[in-house]
Structure 1
Amino acid sequence: MLPPILQGLRIPVVASPMFIVSGPELVIAQCKAGIVGSFPALNAREKPGEPPLLEAWLTRITEELDRHNQANPDRPAAPFAVNQIVHRSNARLERDIEICHRHKVPIWITSLGARVEVNEAAHDCGGIALHDVINNVFARKAIEKGADGLIAVAAGAGGHAGPQSPFALVQEIREWWDGPLLLSGSIATGRAVLAAQVMGADLAYIGSPFIATEEANAQAEYKQMICDAGAMDIVTSSLFTGVSGNYLAPSIRRAGLDPDRLGAADAETMNFAEDASKAKAWSQIWGAGQGIGAVHDVVPAATRVERLAAEYVSAKAEMARL
């Protein structure tokens, strides 16, 4: 059974935290629309000498959702989540954990490493911890270190993605894990959300369709590229971060590179330090998942959720008739 915090969503969807793209505007809109909104803590970057921007973001999100709930007791907002990059190069991790703990963040999403102390911090403030994994070995390690649930990042997911089929990945995890399981990878329609559940996941983890929303912190060209592209326009490479990820080929070409002749980078080169020059160098290389062929226009996030919900209900009704 899902923990209470993940029950009662409008549809079984958690919006994935996207580098740069996910900020307070998008998270608030997603939560008000009835799905879990999320953002990476590292997206909140203040200038030297300024107070932590993460504090301001969490205060704004909490206060706006509280106001919404008071005004709409019959249609409360979904909870929000914060993603922590648990990698040795993230020098902000301890500071950001303390801030999230103090603000009682309800859902913690951890990536690129499972750490006991992060899960303990989430539990200590009444939250739950979900860890994203790309294979069954990492899934077992995450649960051993205290994660409450797993996010299976399968082939076709935007940004950092695993190589395994969602059928294989979910199947192997479900052989031993009956707790919360989310599935990520090419999910862009309500029908795909239902398919994820049929495979054995509890919720779908959706990112790329929300790039093409009014609230997303993305350049207009990026949003339009999402609308114009399809699965054939997605390229998998480790060059840009040191970890295999999926990116838009047109953005790679605009950066002067040939998407068919990309080199590779070792995971040891991965760097999440705030002054990482490599991240700045690749800032115009845009991530996306293979499901973007279903995205055709830039709309408010609430409209995107409305469409997903309508498609999900329709797909369930259709399956019931079989």
Structure 2
Amino acid sequence: MLPPILQNLRIPVVASPMFIVSGPSLVIEQCKAGIVGSFPALNAREKDGDPIQLEAWLTRITEELDQHNQDNPDQPAAPFAVNQIVHRSNARLERDIEICHRFKVPIWITSLGARTEVNEAAHDCGGIALHDIINNHFAKKAIEKGADGLIAVAAGAGGHAGPQSPFALVQEIREWFDGPLLLSGAIATGRSVLAAQVMGADLAYIGSPFIATMEARGTEEYKQMICDSGAMDIVTSSLFTGVSGNYLAPSIRNAGLDPDNLEKSDASKMNFAQGSSKPKAWSQILGAGQGIGAIHDVVPAATYIDRLAKEYADAKTRMAKL
């Protein structure tokens, strides 16, 4: 059974935290529209001497969602989540954990390492912890270290995607784990959300389609590239961060590289000291998942979520007739 905080969503969707793209405006609109909105803590960056950006973001999100709930008691906003990159190169982790604990962040998403102390901090302030994994081995380690649920990042997901089929990954996890399970990987329609549930996941984890929304913090070029591209335009490479990830071929060409002939790299190159695992030389290499073929226009996040909800309801009706 899902924990209470995840039980009353409009549709079973969590919006994934995306580097640069996810910020307060997008998170607020996602939550108001009835799905979990999220952002990476490392997106909130300030210059030396400036007020702490993460505190400002959390203040804005909590105040605006609280006001929405007061104005709409019959349609309260969904909860929000903050993603913590749990990697040894993230020098901000301890500070960001303290801030999220102080603000009582309801959902904590951890990536690139399972850490007991992060899960304990989430629980201590009344939150839950979800950890993203790419295989069954890492799934078991995450639960052993106190995570409440898992995000199965399967083949086709944007960013640091796993190599396994969602069928195989969900199947192996469900042999031993009956807790909250989210599925990530090429999910862009309400039909795909229902399919994820049929496979055994509780919720869908959707990222790339939200790049092409008005509230997203990506450039207009990035948003248009999402609309103009499809699954064939996604390239898997370890060159840019040291870990296998999915990227838009047009952005690779724009950087003067051949997407069909990319060198390999290794995980020792990964460094989050500057907020991203990508060196500055690759800052214009744009991530995306294989589901973007369903995205053709830049729209408000609420409009896209309305579409997801209708497609999801229509798919359930269709399945009931089979």
Q: Same fold (TM over 0.5)?
A: yes
Contact 2:43/2:275, CA 8 A, preserved across alignment? no
- Counterparts of 1:254 and 1:86, CA distance in 2: 31
One-letter amino acid of the counterpart of residue 211, structure 2:
I
- Counterparts of 2:160 and 2:145, CA distance in 1: 22
- Counterparts of 1:94 and 1:316, CA distance in 2: 43
Aligned to 1:305: 305
The change in CA–CA distance for 1:278 and 1:134 in structure 2 (over 3 A counts) is closer
After superposing the two structures, state which structure 1 stretch, 270-279 or 65-74, moved more. Answer: 270-279
Between the aligned residues of both structures, percent identity stands at 86
Shift of residue 277 of structure 1? 9.4
State the superposition RMSD in angstroms. 0.9
Aligned to 1:203: 203
Alignment of 1:159-178 (within 5 A): 159-178=159-178
Aligned to 1:217: 217
- 3-state SS of the aligned residue for 2:212? coil
- 3-state SS of the aligned residue for 2:279? helix
The change in CA–CA distance for 1:260 and 1:318 in structure 2 (over 3 A counts) is same
Q: Deviations over 1:209-248 (max 9, x none)?
A: 0000000001001000000100000000011111110000
Shift of residue 281 of structure 1? 1.8
Q: Deviations over 1:157-216 (max 9, x none)?
A: 000000000000000000000000000000000000000000000000000000000000
Aligned to 1:87: 87
The change in CA–CA distance for 1:107 and 1:187 in structure 2 (over 3 A counts) is same
Shift of residue 52 of structure 1? 1.3
Aligned to 2:141: 141
Q: Deviations over 1:109-150 (max 9, x none)?
A: 000000000000000000000000000000000000000000
One-letter amino acid of the counterpart of residue 153, structure 2:
V
- Counterparts of 1:224 and 1:192, CA distance in 2: 23
One-letter amino acid of the counterpart of residue 152, structure 2:
A
Shift of residue 274 of structure 1? 2.0
Aligned to 2:100: 100
- 3-state SS of the aligned residue for 2:32? helix
Alignment of 1:231-246 (within 5 A): 231-246=231-246
- 3-state SS of the aligned residue for 1:284? coil
- Counterparts of 2:283 and 2:26, CA distance in 1: 20
- 3-state SS of the aligned residue for 2:309? helix
- Counterparts of 2:8 and 2:291, CA distance in 1: 26
- Counterparts of 1:215 and 1:191, CA distance in 2: 24
One-letter amino acid of the counterpart of residue 133, structure 2:
V
After superposing the two structures, state which structure 1 stretch, 45-54 or 60-69, moved more. Answer: 45-54
- Counterparts of 2:56 and 2:222, CA distance in 1: 26
Q: Does 1:115 align with 2:108?
A: no
- 3-state SS of the aligned residue for 1:160? coil
One-letter amino acid of the counterpart of residue 180, structure 2:
P
- Counterparts of 2:15 and 2:215, CA distance in 1: 13
Using the size of structure 1 for normalisation, the TM-score is 0.99
Shift of residue 275 of structure 1? 7.5
Aligned to 1:155: 155
One-letter amino acid of the counterpart of residue 72, structure 2:
N
Aligned to 1:187: 187
- Counterparts of 1:167 and 1:99, CA distance in 2: 37
